[in-house]
Amino acid sequence: MPIAEILKDNHAFGPDAVAKLTAAFEDALQKLGSIGRDDPAARALAKHIIELAEQGETDTARLCDGALQRLTKP
């Protein structure tokens, strides 16, 4: 899972935050449907979720939706 790989060396997030980021990532993958975890878009999605969290977002739904918006921006 890309988000776990990215977060494993990031000590800025505690266990509760990691759980929220992972939930947001899983929700976003489900909304995208056909994207696989090894797809480069999944890695980009994980990075967007982490960036939003680093900016202070803590709500799982907003992390998910914000990352999806960033991923699909033309």
pLDDT per residue as tens digits for the range 27-62? 999 998 878 878 888 999 999 999 999 999 999 999
Mean pLDDT of the chain: 89
Q: Would you tell me how many other CB atoms lie within 10 Å of the CB of residue 19? A: 12
Residue 47 tokens read as: 């990075």
Query: What average pLDDT does the segment 13-24 reach?
Result: 91
User: What does the pLDDT read at residue 1?
Assistant: 57
49 compared with 5, residue with greater pLDDT:
49
pLDDT of residue 72 exceeding 60 = yes
Of all residues in the chain, the percent with pLDDT exceeding 90 is 57
Q: Which residues contact 55 (CB under 8 A, 6 or more apart)?
A: none
